[in-house]
Amino acid sequence: MSEPVEAKNKTKTIEDAKAGAALPALGLKGMLRWAWTQLTSMRTALFLLLLLAVAAVPGSLFPQRPANPAVVTQYIKDHPDYGKILDAVQLYDVYSSAWFSAIYLLLFISLIGCVTPRAIAHYKAMRSQPPRTPKRLSRLPEYGTLVVPADAGIPASRAITDAAALLRKRGYRVEVRDADGERPSLGAERGFLKEVGNLVFHTSLIGVLVSVAIGGLFGYSGQRILVEGDTFVNTLVGYDQFSPGTNFQSSWLQPYSIQLDKFDVKFDRESPAHFGQPIDFTAQVTTKENPGAPAEKKVLKVNDPVTLGGTSIYLTGNGYAPVITVRDGKGNVALQGPVVAKLQGDNYYSSVVIKVPDAKPEQLGFAGFFLPTAFVTEQGVSFSGDPELINPQLSLNSYYGDLGLDKGTPQNVFELDVKNLTQLNGRDLPAKGITLVPGKTYTLPDGKGSISFDGVKKYVGVDIHHNPGQVSALFFALLAVAGLVVSLYLNRRRVWVRTGTHDDGRTMVEYGLLARGEDHRLAGESAAIRELFQREWQLAPSAPETSDTVASTNTKDQ
Amino acid sequence: MLFSINETMGQYSELFMLLAAGTYTVAFVAFAWDLAKSSKTLRAVDLKAAAAAKVPVSAGRVGASEVGGPAGHAERPTSGPTFAGGTAAGDMRYAAERRAPARVAVALSILGVLIHAAGVVTRALGAGRVPWGNMYEFLTTGAFVAVAVFLLALIRRDLRFLGTFVIGLAVIMLVAASVAYWTPVGHLVPALQSYWLVIHVSIAVLSSALFTLTFAMSALQLVQSHRQKTLAAGGTDKLGFMRLVPDALSLENLSYRINTVAFVGWTFTLMFGAIWAEKAWGRFWGWDTKEVWTFVIWVVYAGYLHARATRGWTGTRAAWLSIVGYLCVIFNFTIVNQFFNGLHSYSGLS
Ligand code: HEM
């Protein structure tokens, strides 16, 4: 529907351009107007849409920084030849890149430029009367005539008011013309909502975009690992990792707390192919809306977050946390508690890193593996035979020296930097590696201290999200779908009827239908209207004069 | 809460799938035979009629020019040459001629789809859940929906000319499922245990089935459009079987209508996916690979709908967009599911 407007504008712009050539002062204005008509044309919209589709693809081919920064760093390392070049053209940040943003911003500007004039035009169309009756109705894609016998007592004027009433009942807006003249006629129109639906759809897309932007500006998210018994308090220091939105202020955090009481995993013991695969995770938690509020018991599951203090808390990971006690060379307890083991392989085969900065006289470090059900192959390779704690075992190497924690540079808790450390235990050393089962203690060589394996707890990883744009994004998305459906399945139609009296007293009725845009049911509508007329005037059903009913009819008026 | 696995049911299901594939194969042959034979018969009938009446070959059959497109929107490449004859009726209603092979093919397809239904249902019973939790199940259930949608469409319209394509594709899907993606019945991983799996995936599969139909129609549209031009220019008809297929413009119009339905379905797929992602991972959109491709498909089909209203883009170009959109659907389903790392790694093929 924007086409005629566009076509008109185009000829106008050519004139403008010509004028511009003659009058340099108009040049800039002409150029700008030309650019604007170009940008808001259907062809540009189509081009930008297709470009958007193409531009989204590389984000699925290359690792993306927002999803996983570590993978990107590794990828650049692994591809020294072109890894950096890809970075320079923002291929690791596709969806926040300058070029991707440019495409969708242009698309939305084009959208606004397209929707606004259409909305105004449609508003006017909705307030104006149906267009005047065409001279020759028989030229319309749907056309038919009816003859009312003279003895029926229905003159032309009566026939037109009857027809008007029938069409009004059918949802048409009707205007009767020349009601008392020789050839009274009516124009009727329905389906204005189709265009409204289209406008609502396109406008809602802007709403979705704005909502997403709001989420990015004012939202935040973070992660935290909780061992059974741990409590998380919603403050900045409570998070292991925190990503604030662009405009985030820490005062927005409501200091609620959530304690992990118990975590259960159910494993598949039925199907041979998936034996040992986890099939259910359930975390029992105790929450408090704020420090003074009463405690509440809740259940946290995958696909079933807990909402608290304006945030949602999701269960995203889990594993085992062996509880250990480390004594230092002086015999004092330098570390006691659960150590989070990071999943590495099948059946909860996990890596363990223990840093003991408080050990004296020298700091201690341990690195190795935790196996819930330890098996050792003949080659001496250990693996985990089952995800449950059937034969839990810790195998560790130990180190002493400077852990490098005091320098203030941030360190990965899951990695031990052995640069300034001396190894004490290891497969290749005389003291060999440390192998511990629960309840056992190992004494380190050279009087460096000891390590005890006290037991095993479970831990969960939770993601905490706050997105203030979410509800409105959903609202606009639903609105968009509603608009889309209305726009696609409603039809805008016009009907004209003209009546007249024959010399012999019979009343002639002719009618024609026209659709705006695609309308494959116009023939059906025509038949339905014919039937209404026939019933009203008690005529015998007969086929309309136009022989072919055409499957799909589209005509652009004016 | 979790039903237990029933292996025997699972084995019955696999047997049904193989039987269905076998039945479809015979149906496929019958459809192909129909294309070869009926087009020849039609040609003979047409020629006889022409000889008798000395009128252009196509009298009685609907010529392309009669059926409008979104007029005024565009020059219409497919309708350009006024063309008469050599195609099936544009309204795609059942005609009077009896096509015995086509009837056999449809009957076999119905038999096949019933067996297939049994396969899908026993799979669901065996696993105690909806039968779409891994690649094997997406394929077997997807093929079932595609055939079922096709057969349902046959009630209203004579789309039997699509039979070779749809049934052939169903055979390929079933064979690929059994050979390359076979997975025994099992429980769902926790990430998939949600009623959103039922809603989101069922709509995705349904939309994909519709996109399959429109893909076939768009491909035929391109061929028919080319053929019509050749014939209109007085060329010889090298693709005789295409006379069973309606004219390009009718194909375009019907596939547009089906595409609008599928597009609405895909919009829901996207939205429900986002809602589910919010429930599972705490963000409704994160440009995960699967999300990227769902988005790309949506935008391509939005482009298609636009093309139908853009000067110079209806007809052949729109058909290409519909084809590209479908290729993205296939890519999303095969390559992305298996080789791209993302949160959606539940192909069941670890
Ligand atoms: C965010 C990008 C856009 C998307 C996803 C989009 C999507 C769609 C869809 C799905 C339709 C078909 C359904 C309907 O008629 O409501 C449509 C129709 C339409 N769009 Fe867009 N659109 C976008 C941008 C634009 C822009 C920038 C323009 C203007 C230049 C535009 C103009 C139109 C027009 C005129 C129609 C009606 C076509 C007809 O008469 O059949 N759209 N759009």
| Average pLDDT for chain A | 85
Q: Residue A268 is nearest to which of B69, B186, B310, comparing CB atoms?
A: B186
The verdict on a CB contact (< 8 Å) between B70 and A517 is yes
Band of pLDDT at residue B96, cut at 50, 70 and 90 = low
Position with higher pLDDT, B66 vs A47? A47
Band of pLDDT at residue B45, cut at 50, 70 and 90 = low
Pairing state of beta strands A296-301 and A173-177?
Answer: unpaired
Atom of ligand 1 nearest to the CA of A3: 35
The verdict on a CB contact (< 8 Å) between B287 and A302 is no
Residue in B closest to A222 by C-alpha: B282
Whole-angstrom distance, CA of residue A148 vs CA of residue A161: 14
pLDDT the model gives residue B74: 29
Question: Is the model's pLDDT at B220 over the cut of 80?
Answer: yes
C-beta of residue B131 within 8 angstroms of C-beta of residue B202: no
The verdict on a CB contact (< 8 Å) between A279 and B183 is no
Band of pLDDT at residue A23, cut at 50, 70 and 90 = very low
Question: Is the model's pLDDT at B244 over the cut of 60?
Answer: yes
Residues of A numbered 451-470 whose beta carbons fall under 8 angstroms of chain B's beta carbons: which are they?
463-465, 467, 470
Mean of the pLDDT values across residues A362-388?
A: 86
Question: Is the model's pLDDT at B79 over the cut of 50?
Answer: no
Give the residue from A259, A279, A256, A283 showing the smallest Cα distance to A269.
Answer: A279
pLDDT the model gives residue B266: 97
Instruction: Choose the most confident range, by mean pLDDT, from A6-20, A270-284, B65-79.
Output: A270-284
Residue B282's region, left for phi above 0, alpha for psi from -120 to 50, else beta, is: left
The verdict on a CB contact (< 8 Å) between A66 and B280 is no
- How many residues can be counted in chain B? 350
Question: Is the model's pLDDT at B350 over the cut of 50?
Answer: no
Atom of ligand 1 nearest to the CA of A111: 27
B214 C-alpha to ligand 1 centroid (Å): 20
**Residue whose CB lies within 8 A of the most ligand 1 atoms, among B305, B308, B310, B322, for a mutation test:** B305
Whole-angstrom distance, CA of residue B45 vs CA of residue A307: 72
In chain B, residues with a C-beta closer than 8 Å to the C-beta of A57 are 292, 296
pLDDT the model gives residue B55: 41
Question: For B303-322, what is each residue's pLDDT tens digit?
Answer: 999 999 888 888 899 999 99
Q: Is A64 on the interface with B (CB under 8 A)?
A: yes
pLDDT the model gives residue B214: 94
Question: Is the model's pLDDT at B193 over the cut of 90?
Answer: no
Listing DSSP states for A347-386 in one string gives: GG-EEEEEEETT-SSSEEEEEEEEESBEEE-TTS-EEES-
Whole-angstrom distance, CA of residue A412 vs CA of residue A422: 20
Which range has the worst mean pLDDT, A156-165, A450-459, B187-196?
Answer: B187-196
Q: Is A95 on the interface with B (CB under 8 A)?
A: yes
Question: Is the model's pLDDT at A19 over the cut of 60?
Answer: no
Question: Is the model's pLDDT at B64 over the cut of 70?
Answer: no
A495 strand-pairing partners: A188, A513
Position with higher pLDDT, B240 vs B64? B240
Q: Residue B284 is nearest to which of A64, A67, A470, comparing CB atoms?
A: A470
Mean of the pLDDT values across residues A202-229?
A: 91
Whole-angstrom distance, CA of residue B226 vs CA of residue A164: 47
Band of pLDDT at residue A485, cut at 50, 70 and 90 = very high
Give the residue from A239, A18, A493, A481 showing the smallest Cα distance to B266.
Answer: A481
pLDDT the model gives residue A549: 38
Helices B316-331 & B248-281 angle (0-180, nearest 10): 30
Residue A112 C-alpha, separation from nearest chain B C-alpha, in angstroms = 16
The verdict on a CB contact (< 8 Å) between B292 and A60 is yes
Listing DSSP states for A196-223 in one string gives: HHHHHHHHHHHHHHHHHHHHHHH-EEEE
The verdict on a CB contact (< 8 Å) between B250 and A551 is yes
Phi, psi of B14 (to 5 degrees): -65, -35
Question: Is the model's pLDDT at B39 over the cut of 80?
Answer: no
**Closest residue (by CA) to atom 9 of ligand 1?**
B302
Question: For B245-296, what is each residue's pLDDT tens digit?
Answer: 888 888 998 999 999 999 999 999 999 999 988 887 778 888 888 899 999 9
C-beta of residue A429 within 8 angstroms of C-beta of residue A287: no
Band of pLDDT at residue B81, cut at 50, 70 and 90 = very low
Position with higher pLDDT, A550 vs B100? B100
Residue in B closest to A273 by C-alpha: B184
C-beta of residue B102 within 8 angstroms of C-beta of residue B158: no
Burial code (b: 16+ CB inside 10 Å, e: under 16) for A2-29 equals bbebbeebeeebeebeeebeeeeeeeee
Whole-angstrom distance, CA of residue A402 vs CA of residue A413: 15
Residue B224 C-alpha, separation from nearest chain A C-alpha, in angstroms = 19
In chain B, residues with a C-beta closer than 8 Å to the C-beta of A60 are 289, 292-293, 336, 340
A487 C-alpha to ligand 1 centroid (Å): 10
C-beta of residue B105 within 8 angstroms of C-beta of residue B163: yes
Question: For A260-269, what is each residue's pLDDT tens digit?
Answer: 999 998 888 8
- Vertex A458, ends A455 and A464: CA angle to 5°? 150
Pairing state of beta strands A173-177 and A507-516?
Answer: unpaired
Band of pLDDT at residue A244, cut at 50, 70 and 90 = confident
Position with higher pLDDT, B205 vs B74? B205
C-beta of residue B214 within 8 angstroms of C-beta of residue B297: no
Band of pLDDT at residue B65, cut at 50, 70 and 90 = very low
Mean of the pLDDT values across residues A404-422?
A: 77
What is the ipTM, given to two decimal places? 0.84
Question: Is the model's pLDDT at B76 over the cut of 50?
Answer: no
Band of pLDDT at residue B52, cut at 50, 70 and 90 = low
pLDDT the model gives residue B282: 78
B308 C-alpha to ligand 1 centroid (Å): 10
Cα torsion B19, B24, B29, B33: sign: positive
Whole-angstrom distance, CA of residue A362 vs CA of residue A375: 34
C-beta of residue A384 within 8 angstroms of C-beta of residue A374: yes
Residue A388 C-alpha, separation from nearest chain B C-alpha, in angstroms = 17
Question: For A325-371, what is each residue's pLDDT tens digit?
Answer: 999 888 889 999 999 998 888 888 889 999 998 888 888 999 999 99
Give the single-character DSSP code of A321: E
pLDDT the model gives residue B53: 54
Whole-angstrom distance, CA of residue A471 vs CA of residue A219: 13
Atom of ligand 1 nearest to the CA of B301: 10
Give the residue from B205, B214, B112, B111 showing the smallest Cα distance to B162.
Answer: B214
C-beta of residue A186 within 8 angstroms of C-beta of residue A160: yes
Distance of alpha carbon A444 from its chain centroid, rounded? Answer: 54
A202 C-alpha to ligand 1 centroid (Å): 7
C-beta of residue A391 within 8 angstroms of C-beta of residue A374: yes
B309 C-alpha to ligand 1 centroid (Å): 9
Whole-angstrom distance, CA of residue B7 vs CA of residue B128: 11
Give the residue from B197, B115, B98, B107 showing the smallest Cα distance to B151.
Answer: B107
Mean of the pLDDT values across residues A363-392?
A: 86
Mean of the pLDDT values across residues A526-539?
A: 91
Whole-angstrom distance, CA of residue B157 vs CA of residue A223: 55
**Side chain identity at A247, as an amino acid letter?**
N
Which range has the worst mean pLDDT, A240-244, B72-76, B94-98, B138-142?
Answer: B72-76
Tokens matching residue A464: 């905490």
Question: Is the model's pLDDT at A3 over the cut of 60?
Answer: no
Position with higher pLDDT, B344 vs B145? B145
The verdict on a CB contact (< 8 Å) between B340 and A280 is no
pLDDT the model gives residue A408: 63
Listing DSSP states for A454-503 in one string gives: EEEEEEEEEEEEE-TTHHHHHHHHHHHHHHHHHHHH--EEEEEEEEEE-T
Residue in B closest to A57 by C-alpha: B292
Question: Is the model's pLDDT at A164 over the cut of 90?
Answer: yes
**Residue whose CB lies within 8 A of the most ligand 1 atoms, among A3, A198, A204, A491, for a mutation test:** A198
Question: Is the model's pLDDT at A120 over the cut of 90?
Answer: yes
Band of pLDDT at residue B3, cut at 50, 70 and 90 = low
Which range has the worst mean pLDDT, A276-290, A303-317, A482-496, B75-89?
Answer: B75-89
pLDDT the model gives residue B274: 92
Name every protein residue with a CB atom under 6 angstroms from any ligand 1 atom. Answer: A 1-2, 40, 42, 45, 49, 107, 110-111, 114, 198, 201-202, 205, 484, 487-488, 517; B 302, 305-306, 309
The verdict on a CB contact (< 8 Å) between B296 and A56 is yes
**Residue whose CB lies within 8 A of the most ligand 1 atoms, among A10, A122, A202, for a mutation test:** A202
**Closest residue (by CA) to atom 8 of ligand 1?**
B302
* Bond preceding residue A361 cis, omega within 30 of 0: yes
Residue in A closest to B277 by C-alpha: A303
B217 C-alpha to ligand 1 centroid (Å): 23
**Closest residue (by CA) to atom 26 of ligand 1?**
A111
In chain A, residues with a C-beta closer than 8 Å to the C-beta of B190 are 278-281, 301-303
Question: Is the model's pLDDT at A279 over the cut of 90?
Answer: no
Residues of A numbered 166-185 whose beta carbons fall under 8 angstroms of chain B's beta carbons: which are they?
none
Band of pLDDT at residue A194, cut at 50, 70 and 90 = very high
Whole-angstrom distance, CA of residue A173 vs CA of residue A152: 28
Give the single-character DSSP code of B180: T
Mean of the pLDDT values across residues A298-309?
A: 88
Whole-angstrom distance, CA of residue A16 vs CA of residue B65: 38
The verdict on a CB contact (< 8 Å) between B279 and A305 is yes
Which range has the worst mean pLDDT, A71-80, A541-550, B45-54?
Answer: A541-550
The verdict on a CB contact (< 8 Å) between B68 and A553 is yes
Q: Is A136 on the interface with B (CB under 8 A)?
A: no
Position with higher pLDDT, B68 vs A544? A544
Mean of the pLDDT values across residues A274-278?
A: 79
